[in-house]
Amino acid sequence: MPMSWTSPAALTALCMGLMFAPPGRAPARATPPDAKAEAPARAIPNSTNKKVKRVAPSVGTPPPVTKTKYQRVASAKTTTTRARPKPQLARVSSKQTKARAARYSARNSKAPRKVNKELKNLRKDIAKRKLNFEVAYTEAMDKPMAELTGLSLPSKPLARAAKQNSEARAQLAGRNLMVRSVARAAAKPRAMARASKGDLPGGLGAPVGSSSGGSGGAGLGTDFADMCSPSADAFSWGDSLGPIRNQGACGSCWAFAAVSTLEASNAIINGAKPDLAEQHALSCSGGGSCYGGWYTPIYDWLGGGKDGLQTEQSVPYQANDNKCSANGKTAYEVETWGWVDPVAVMPKTADIKSAMCKYGAITAAVAATPAFIAYSGGTFDEKSNANVNHAVVLVGWDDDRGAWLMRNSWGTNWGEDGYMWIAYGSNRIGEYAAWAMVEEDANAKNNSNNGPVVQSFSERNFRVTNDSGQNVEVFVQWNTKRNNSDTWLPGAPGSNKTASYTIAAGKSLNLDDPTHKPFMLQAKKLRVWAKSTKGKANTWEAWKTLDLELVPKAYEATEMDVFELHLLPDGADSAGGGGPSPKDKDDLWDEAYDLFAGGDYAAAKAEFIAFKTLYPNDQNIPYALYFMGVAEHELGNYWDALLYFAEFADAHYKHDWIPYVYYWAGSAYVGLGECGYATQLFEVVIYGDLGAPKSWISAAKDTIAWLAKDKGKVCSSWD
């Protein structure tokens, strides 16, 4: 039995995302009346001289909707209580804890009188204020403040911050870590549909994550609970970092913080963990000296297209202001960098979390005080208002503690083996927070964060959807490239050599090519015809004697496109065969749009499919995919909706409407009960810097909060 869920009335904002078309966006550039139309698959009579009226693909704002029902796709899964998984931060072993306590105990027994007096006063203050951290005789207490810290702020640190962030966004072209990750989620349905040889259930495939989804079901190679999710209670990039470093008797915290951030970025993006040279950054970046400096010049220096950062082995740390002598090209360059907030000195906690998920570890400033220097464990919540003087790295958070996981550069005999849990906002932690991303290495061990690679294609795959109301047998001959020449397979038109496939009513089939891998048929043009298998007289023979052009001209995409032919009742098809002469291009678009605006989603979808089939290179194809996906969603066909959204996201990932596609894809995943995927997609709408309006961002936030409270009624999976 299908299950349903209904959002509470309080989630009115959710329905803001259920608008038919994105509000507040510039209308699509309509084809001018005198523009040359793409060649259709079949010649049509010339249009009359009437004035062509093109509608903008926008429907406006519908009346408010206070609740929405999703018929969750039934699966073989046993109904259980499924709550959002709580991330598990790496736990420090009892052995490590005991060893650390023993080290501090041994040092405390040898502490000078001055140190004992300072620790006594600190502990008295901690007890009086009921603070949550401990202090001990750390190695840092043996050094003067100038050697421990070294952060020197420029006169106007954020003077060109807005421009820097604008340049960084342009450099990344929207491909931050969150967007790259969610792109894999969006592409999953299409990849599964392409890989399916058999009859595709539910229209175009099995629900992702369901038992019928096969071994390649839900999951991006990383469990959702372990992914960086801004709405999660906890997360850490700690596993992406090497051992704790020690800046020694040199005020070079600024160099250590920047290099540590780059090491984390390199591990995340390239899967490698080299020990990079802080001395190289200290001596050559121009950012400062052992008497103080600023971290962003290091990013500018490494992003200048010159030599990259050397490794520790090549340039060992000397803790002094050596003359710059290192040279030679390395792979450790900065692609771009930016500020978490280009306006506010202290970014919001939510903004730092989202930046951590988008870019990796965060370089930040903090006020190092005597209590900070003596910290040995717990959650540091001194909340001093002293000026910032030290640069550190934020690598995670824990909302239960209300704290950041902070990485320092004072060795392991400080804090919790070199780390500190520091309460949000305490000691100005997070001021001047910045991020940096390294260049992607061509030999990266982990290329899962690569953006889509655009290629040129001269063929398309072929799928047949049987909307005729009866079972049919389909015959096909196709023209494709073999051995550098165009060849008809399995035989030339007019011969009796054909491939045949049986397709049940209401089902789809990816036609396969047994002579080629991957198995899915791909061609420039083909002959295709069909007949009823139930003794009815219906036949589809328009393309038995005419070539159906799958590729009027070469096209660019990140993977080969699929030409989808719908067999319609009475011998007609979506390519204009067997029925009345195809409509004029503009009339077909207008009719599809009007049907959609009027709420006739099934008819609108069919018209948009016909438009896409006849004019596959038209500039309005992205909008057609969007409306087709929304129509399927409104019909409750969530899997089918996902395939259209996946095609949009794959082929048009730089399009202005991509945040709306991600929102609807998230909503479709909710309908499938796949709440891990849904949350990923909603989060990229909120935090991905893709230009979503505030109403859609608000709707996505409310939906995530609602899903997090679900106990299995909606969410069948959080994979």
Report whether 318 contacts 280 (CB < 8 A): no
Q: Which structure tokens are listed for 656?
A: 């202005």
Report whether 533 contacts 488 (CB < 8 A): no
Distance between CA atoms of 620 and 595, rounded to whole angstroms? 17
Active-site residue among 389, 408, 449, 637? 408
Known catalytic residue at 408: yes
Report the 10 Å Cβ neighbour count for 492.
12
Task: Please choose, from the candidates 7, 386, 75, 338, the residue with its C-alpha nearest in 3D space to the C-alpha of residue 213.
Answer: 75
Report whether 185 contacts 642 (CB < 8 A): no
What is the full DSSP assignment across 122-181?
HHHHHHHHT-SEEE---GGGGS-HHHH--B---SSTTTTHHHHHHHHHHHHTT--HHHHH
Residue 13: DSSP 8-state: H
Nearest-5° Cα angle at 652, 651 to 657: 145
Residue 207: DSSP 8-state: P
Chain centre to alpha carbon of residue 55 = 32
What length does the chain have? 719
Task: Please choose, from the candidates 621, 153, 218, 638, the residue with its C-alpha nearest in 3D space to the C-alpha of residue 367.
Answer: 153
Known catalytic residue at 390: yes
Q: Is 236 left (phi over 0), alpha (psi -120 to 50) or beta?
A: beta
Task: Please choose, from the candidates 229, 256, 176, 452, the residue with its C-alpha nearest in 3D space to the C-alpha of residue 354.
Answer: 229
Distance between CA atoms of 524 and 547, rounded to whole angstroms? 10
Contacts of 464 by beta carbon, 8 Å cutoff, 6+ apart: 474, 501, 503, 508, 509, 511, 528, 530, 564, 565, 566, 567
Q: Is 209 left (phi over 0), alpha (psi -120 to 50) or beta?
A: left
Alpha helices in 360-431 (DSSP H): 370-373
Active-site residue among 228, 266, 290, 390? 390
Known catalytic residue at 516: no
Q: Is 611 left (phi over 0), alpha (psi -120 to 50) or beta?
A: alpha
Distance between CA atoms of 672 and 682, rounded to whole angstroms? 15
Distance between CA atoms of 238 and 263, rounded to whole angstroms? 11
Residue 315: DSSP 8-state: S
Active-site residue among 228, 250, 253, 675? 253
Task: List, by residue number, the catalytic residues.
Answer: 253, 390, 408
